[in-house]
Chains A and B, each alone.
Chain A
Amino acid sequence: MRFLRLLATFVRVGVLGELAYRANFFFQLLESLIELGTALAGLAIVFSYTASLGGWRPDEVVALVGVYFLAGGCIRLLIQPSMQQLIESVRDGTLDFILTKPEDAQVLASIQRVEIWKVADVALGLAVIGVALVRMGSRIDAVRALQFAAALVAGGVIVYSFWLILATLAFWFVRVENILVIFQSMYDAGRWPVGLYPGWLRFALTFLVPVTFAVTVPAEALAGRLGWLTLLGAGGLAVGLFVASRLLWRAGLRHYSGASA
């Protein structure tokens, strides 16, 4: 509850800061729509030559594109801005301001900046998932819905923990932004089922940059292709990474001695 209230406060601050630049919302929406249109047009071309792509039917890949937008939107809305802010504040010492507040510092650092207009990606992603679900119709049952929700939550926790671990490395190494840029460019590969890629790339997208868990696994759940074992693995990895990131964060804080001040 307390967490939600805090989050709501930061969202409000984000909205207030951006309301002065309302035109940005329309440009963001335009850019997101173009990106979505591009992805769907690419699908249309590919599926004009085949009925299924590596075992995925058209509706299922559309759902995957929806998950890609949803997950990417959440990352760009909250996780990435906050983590970039965190890295910066470790470098210039303004992390002190967070540490002195009477609230868990990890929570504050993780929601400190909201890029509110990226909510357009989240909304578009949800809409695309909705359309795909309607077109899949009766193929969706309660079990799949449940698996999907669980996979989405696990993917979200994995991506968050992954970013927190990278950002926390800033306590020891000053320059870590580069790794974040690599994540950005590799995230694009999540637009297609990772099963299509050669083994080494699939491995990199699963364990080095957890795009697989954020996008492909939830979409597999919708397509009814997700084994319970994979889901269990995703859940286990989520818990493991979350604990690990928490431990690393505490070690980082002990190592932190402020800058300049």
Chain B
Amino acid sequence: MSGPIVRIAAGQGFWGDWLEAPVRQIQGGPIDYLMMDYLAEVTMSIMQKQKSRDPKAGYARDFIPLMERILPDLVAKRIRVTSNAGGVNPRGCAEAVLEVARRLGLQGKLRVGLVSGDDILDRLDELIAKGHALSDMETGRPLSEIRPRVLSANAYLGMAPIVQALQGGADVVVTGRVTDTGLTLGPIFHEFGWSPEDWDKVAAGTVAGHIIECGAQASGGNLLRGWRSVKGMANPGFPIVEAASDGSFVVTKHPETGGVVSVASVSEQLVYEMGDPASYITPDGVADFTTIRLASAGKDRVRVSGIRGRPRTPMLKVSVAYFYGYKAVGTLVYSWPEAYEKAKAADRILRQRLADLGLEFERILTEFVGVDATHGPLSGPPDPDLPEVQLRVGVRAPERAGVERFTREIAPLVLTGPPSVTGFAGGRPAVEEVVAYWPALIDRREIEPHVRVEILEA
């Protein structure tokens, strides 16, 4: 690895990640880009719900106070940001960033790139009428089956609009449903001026993006191998990619931070959420994870090279969220002696009462936390002398009423069931609306002409 490098630092791995991370990435050493991924599969539907109540909402609200905290440093150090914090309202998000910039006196010093066109909710009927079935990739069912219950629909965009925004001078790029990996690919391709059809380079940037898109999960967080020896996790160093012009890169973190970047930590992140490793498909190309070479390159440095790719497919993935039904989960804790026996007896009584009430559910699931909740039947027979067991019962149904009634059947067990029961201080369990995820594919020619990039001045 020689010549110029581009440093891309992960700031957030999901909506709800450690709020100090982006600040420490900026202050802990030199970086060129701060990449912040906010969108998980069903995040868009939560944001859609918020937007339907308030047209100015619908994006990751945490992003705004965070930008308020870091914008002066970003401008002073000329660090640029790529983020899909825009959710279903990237314009609202971009305008809120501009407002903050003006309040901080950064007029004329900050440009926000706004990427839109991923949202196809208003075009769904037109697309279905044109013959796009938008079938569920797992079940093959056509979208028309659930069309009236659809809450949000977004195509996954790749790096192209981000590259365009950076070329237009954007300091902060705010997008809707851009892939996690596109947020890293964009800066690398912009800086090196690579052709978007250099498939090995696309694959390399995709792998870089995959490694850092979950934040500290690549740098010691959730690391199983030797977890006891991972030090300093009160101040974990989030991962940083140092990309080189030959397509190779180094994964590292700032000095004086906790955690670890090792072949083991990077390997665990590489296999996370993996399907067929030879075909990691993104809007930008197909990466072959079986070609990745990892090598330790010093303390907290792992060199990644050798990555091969193939051309992008003609399709883009679409993420549809739809209303599914209702669910609730109730818990009670039973203590020694015979804790497990008591919890099992309570479950039997509860189920009998639900049946006597004539309640029907699509699913009732009982787990005994401390006995079998994480590994099911693989857990083996429990210790007969367990100090306590938590009974955890969940129900799911298309209608609200039965689920609502279920939530009123937990607390009565305290005085009408087995003894030595506690842990009900939280009150009745909440009835949750279930919004489900429907992955589909669409011809990219239906989406790409609608993608828009705007550069807005503070």
Do A and B assemble together?
Answer: no
A residues engaging B (CB < 8 A)? none
